[in-house]
RNA sequence: GCCCAGAUAGCUCAGUCGGUAGAGCAUUUCACUCGUAAUGAAAAGGUCGAGAGUUCGAUUCUCUCUCUGGGCUCCA
């Protein structure tokens, strides 16, 4: 038999000479496909284009413009980078170099503990392009573990990976297991090791597949150098990581780089300064922000809305102090678990005080302040509570990760019977509030126990986890599980939202807690006149006001909807003669409840309009002779066309509608 | 906390191979009074992040610290 039969992706069958490869299959379809092909899927498994196909195989060609294809391009490019680095820095050890979202990285240890500089990056880039120009083949071979250990004898990280996989033996590899997942991509645990050789000198261990030759690559850019711990272990060696991005075409690469530039323009740290919303003065210390008047207006709108919704939702408002005796946090367990994350103690003559890192212990004290009846449950305590956490220096990030912040924090005490309903209605509440701020795309996560980082019995954890899971199922909100991601006191549901340019942010959290009620000896008198322990839910919708503000700034790119905008309309008199009318009109709009300012005619109109547009105001209003005569406005809406001769009353109604439309009480 | 890169006017940045600094925008003033994205002129604005060291002299070189950016780790 000299022919083999191949089934293509569309279901059709073709015959090829024995020994035919996926490249031959692609060639039989068309030359453009050959050019675009980077790998193949053979019987459901990714494979190199140039391996001989078995008879009867199902073959799909993977092209560079698919997700799988880009993955192959990126992974192959990372090999090229490793080769470039080992050429430029003889003696460099390389560890792992996977494809990641939008790109790839490779971790190195350079001889003499050298670190990469930006100049080195330029040199690496140049050498990579030489390697690509020389069109080296990626030649796959397989060998025994012992042979691989010998081949990589001078590459300790590779040897460590091989040894680890050998230690696993034939045990099935769980790609979600952090301890093996990284290595699993590099080595086949079946007892053999596959390697890809580009040159007599450069060979890397890899499961593949790869492009047939380096000539297929080239649309890449090295992005940055970073330190990264070997195997993610903080106690282990710090390797040098180079990140790059790679695409199937110049256009796709350029588009990606353009997206990065656009995302940078939305950066809340930049917009916060440009729009005069808030700042992070060095004098305050790291991770602490001050809110300027314009930012404070946005914040007040957020807070007012939040308070209104909580009031409507049956919450009771409370206030608690910013610091407390350390005994409180011993009782709660926070000192035992998070002392490093708390600001250091203040030794006073009557005890040791700490800034509060959480509001929950104080809310528990409120619950405990008197005997509680089952008739009071669910008891929902709400506070915009400001907390302080000493986040490690390297982790701070604008408003997103900050040391002093205010949570829209609530603790709900309820009976076991009420738990399901409470969580389910809470999910409705969360999504409804988030929708009011313009978010429509949500992802829920259920975080489960990490036995090493938690307190409480298995029974309690199981009960709490099931309650959350059941509520998610009942609610119909799709969710994913994050194993071991729970807080120390209980499992949680996190809600991520997608912003206007598709990035995900974790905002809301609902946490189930059997532990604090126990630690604080909380109890209520039930209908049976006996004492029972309530269950406690922790929840925040914004997460923190600061972080939510940061997300809003980036989501709206600083162009807040009318109900949130610090200035809703700016009136520009065409000339000084129109200023009195401008002021009168501004007063009328203010009387109608709007935030309006006037910029006098000291500069040209065009310049003032430009300035107002850069401030991203919802409306710019121009008033001249006609308007003074007719009690009208020129209306220049953000993102719309200029309208002339709009009666003031009409505009008042219109702005009112805009504002109302922003607060949909869904 | 770890690796790398930074910190110069309110903002964005240039510059000084060691001799105490400059632009644009913003601000103020003057002129212009203009109908939808940058009028012109002038003025003012900086102990060049902080401290120490080397030096006749440090914003510049060295060290430490603080803060920032990108990662890693962490995130109650």
Task: Decide if A225 contacts A241 (C-beta within 8 A).
Answer: yes
Residue-level pLDDT at A187: 58
Give the pLDDT band of residue A666 (cuts 50, 70, 90).
very low
Summarised one tens digit per residue, pLDDT across range A501-533 is 888 999 999 999 988 999 999 999 999 999 999
Task: Decide if A336 contacts A587 (C-beta within 8 A).
Answer: no
Determine if strand B comes within 7 Å of the CB of A338: yes
The mean of the pLDDT values for chain A is: 92
Through-space separation of residue A279 CA and nucleotide B20 C1' in angstroms: 30
CATH 3.10.20.30 for domain A3-63: yes
Through-space separation of residue A118 CA and nucleotide B71 C1' in angstroms: 14
Determine if strand B comes within 7 Å of the CB of A227: yes
- For A293-321+365-556, CATH gives 3.30.930.10
Residue-level pLDDT at A525: 97
Rg (CA), chain A: 31
- Kindly tell me if the per-residue pLDDT of A171 is higher than 60: no
Residue-level pLDDT at A282: 86
Residue A80 neighbours by CB under 8 Å, 6+ apart: A128, A131, A132, A198, A214, A217
- Kindly tell me if the per-residue pLDDT of A118 is higher than 80: no
The domain segmentation of chain A, as residue ranges, is 3-63, 68-261, 293-321+365-556, 569-662
Catalytic residue among A310, A389, A403, A595: A389
> Which residue is associated with the tokens 């050998």?
A166
A414 catalytic? Reply is: no
Can you point out the beta strands (E) in A469-595? 479-482, 492-498, 504-513, 524-525, 531-532, 535-540, 569-573
A538 catalytic? Reply is: yes
Across all strands, nucleotide nearest A178 (CA–C1'): B73
Residue-level pLDDT at A178: 40
Across all strands, nucleotide nearest A620 (CA–C1'): B36
A453 catalytic? Reply is: no
Determine if strand B comes within 7 Å of the CB of A280: yes
Residue-level pLDDT at A119: 78
Give the pLDDT band of residue A177 (cuts 50, 70, 90).
very low
Residue-level pLDDT at A174: 45
A206 catalytic? Reply is: no
Determine if strand B comes within 7 Å of the CB of A610: yes
CATH 3.30.980.10 for domain A68-261: yes
Residue-level pLDDT at A512: 93
Q: What was the ipTM of the complex prediction?
A: 0.94
Determine if strand B comes within 7 Å of the CB of A644: yes
Q: In the predicted model, what is the mean pLDDT of residues A205-217?
A: 93
Give the pLDDT band of residue A183 (cuts 50, 70, 90).
very low
A364 catalytic? Reply is: no
Give the pLDDT band of residue A664 (cuts 50, 70, 90).
low
Q: Which fold would CATH assign to domain A569-662?
A: Rossmann fold (3.40.50)
The share of chain A scoring above pLDDT 90, in percent, equals 80
Give the pLDDT band of residue A217 (cuts 50, 70, 90).
very high
In terms of Cα–Cα distance, which of A542, A522, A545, A526 is closest to A534? A522
Q: In the predicted model, what is the mean pLDDT of residues A89-116?
A: 91
Q: In the predicted model, what is the mean pLDDT of residues A431-442?
A: 94
- Kindly tell me if the per-residue pLDDT of A182 is higher than 80: no
Can you point out the beta strands (E) in A30-145? 37-42, 45-47, 58-63, 93-94, 99-100, 103-109, 139-144
Summarised one tens digit per residue, pLDDT across range A335-349 is 999 999 999 999 999
- Kindly tell me if the per-residue pLDDT of A180 is higher than 90: no
Catalytic residue among A24, A48, A107, A409: A409
Alpha-carbon torsion angle A450, A451, A454, A455, nearest 10:
150
Across all strands, nucleotide nearest A623 (CA–C1'): B35
Summarised one tens digit per residue, pLDDT across range A397-425 is 999 999 999 999 999 999 988 998 999 99
Give the pLDDT band of residue A132 (cuts 50, 70, 90).
very high
C-alpha–C-alpha distance, residues A461 and A513, integer Å: 9
Residue-level pLDDT at A514: 85
C-alpha–C-alpha distance, residues A610 and A612, integer Å: 5
Task: Decide if A446 contacts A478 (C-beta within 8 A).
Answer: no
Q: In the predicted model, what is the mean pLDDT of residues A582-593?
A: 97
> Which residue is associated with the tokens 């829209």?
A408
Determine if strand B comes within 7 Å of the CB of A343: no
Least confident range from A158-167, A229-238, A501-510: namely A158-167
Q: In the predicted model, what is the mean pLDDT of residues A185-205?
A: 83
């Amino acid at each position: 038999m000299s022919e083999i039969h191949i089934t293509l992706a569309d279901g059709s069958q073709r015959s090829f000479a024995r020994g035919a490869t996926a490249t031959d299959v692609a060639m039989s379809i068309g030359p453009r496909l050959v050019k675009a092909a980077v790998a193949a899927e053979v019987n459901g498994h990714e494979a190199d284009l140039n391996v001989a196909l078995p008879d009867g195989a199902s073959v799909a060609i993977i092209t560079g413009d698919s997700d799988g294809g880009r993955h192959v391009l990126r992974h192959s490019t990372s090999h090229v980078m490793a080769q470039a680095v080992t050429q430029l820095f003889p003696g460099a050890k390389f560890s792992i170099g996977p494809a990641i979202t939008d790109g790839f990285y490779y971790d190195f240890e350079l001889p003499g503990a050298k670190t990469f500089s930006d100049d080195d990056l330029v040199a690496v880039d140049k050498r990579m392009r030489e390697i690509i120009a020389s069109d080296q083949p990626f030649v796959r071979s397989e060998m025994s573990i012992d042979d691989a250990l010998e081949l990589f004898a001078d590459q300790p990280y590779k040897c460590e990976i091989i040894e680890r996989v050998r230690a696993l033996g034939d045990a099935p590899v769980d790609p979600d297991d952090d301890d093996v997942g990284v290595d699993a991509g590099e080595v086949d645990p079946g007892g053999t090791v596959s390697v890809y050789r580009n040159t007599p000198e450069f060979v890397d261990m890899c499961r593949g597949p790869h492009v047939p030759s380096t000539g297929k690559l080239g649309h890449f850019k090295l992005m940055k150098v970073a330190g990264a711990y070997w195997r993610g272990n903080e106690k282990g060696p710090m390797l040098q990581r180079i990140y790059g991005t790679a695409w199937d075409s110049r256009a796709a690469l350029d588009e990606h780089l353009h997206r990065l530039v656009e995302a940078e323009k939305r950066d809340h740290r930049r917009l916060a300064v440009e729009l005069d919303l808030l700042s992070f003065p060095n004098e305050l210390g790291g991770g602490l922000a001050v809110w300027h008047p314009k930012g404070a207006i946005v914040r007040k709108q957020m807070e007012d809305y939040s308070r209104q919704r909580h009031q409507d939702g049956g919450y009771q408002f409370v206030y608690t102090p910013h610091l407390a005796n350390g005994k409180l946090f011993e009782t709660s367990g926070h000192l035992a678990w998070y002392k490093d994350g708390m600001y250091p103690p203040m030794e006073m003559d009557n005890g040791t005080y700490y800034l509060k890192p959480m509001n929950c212990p104080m809310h528990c004290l409120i619950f405990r302040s008197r005997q509680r009846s089952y008739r009071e449950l669910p008891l929902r305590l709400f506070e915009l509570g400001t907390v302080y956490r000493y986040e490690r220096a390297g982790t701070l990030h604008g408003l997103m990760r900050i040391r002093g912040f205010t949570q829209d924090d609530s603790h709900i005490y309820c009976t076991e019977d009420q738990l399901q309903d409470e969580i389910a209605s809470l999910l409705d509440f969360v999504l409804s509030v988030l929708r009011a701020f313009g978010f429509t795309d949500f992802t829920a996560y259920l975080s489960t126990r990490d036995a090493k980082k938690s307190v409480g019995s298995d029974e309690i954890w199981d009960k709490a986890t099931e309650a959350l899971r059941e509520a998610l199922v009942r609610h119909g909100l799709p969710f994913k599980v994050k194993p071991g991601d729970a807080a120390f006191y209980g499992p949680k549901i996190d809600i991520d939202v997608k912003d206007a340019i598709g990035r995900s942010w974790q905002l809301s959290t609902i946490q189930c807690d059997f532990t604090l009620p126990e630690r604080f000896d909380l109890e209520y008198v039930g209908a049976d006149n006996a004492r029972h322990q309530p269950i406690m839910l922790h929840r925040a919708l914004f997460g923190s006001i600061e972080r939510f503000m940061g997300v809003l700034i980036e989501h709206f790119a600083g162009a807040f909807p009318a109900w949130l905008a610090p200035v809703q309309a700016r009136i520009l008199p065409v000339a000084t003669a129109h200023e009195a009318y401008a002021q009168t009109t501004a007063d009328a709009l203010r009387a109608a409840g709007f935030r309006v300012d006037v910029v006098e005619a000291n500069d040209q109109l065009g310049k003032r309009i430009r300035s107002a547009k850069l401030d991203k105001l919802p409306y710019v209003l121009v008033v001249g002779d006609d308007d003074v005569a007719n009690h009208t406005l020129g209306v220049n809406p953000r993102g719309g066309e200029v309208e002339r001769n709009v009666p003031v009353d009409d505009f008042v109604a219109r702005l009112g509608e805009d504002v109302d439309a922003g607060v949909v009480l869904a």
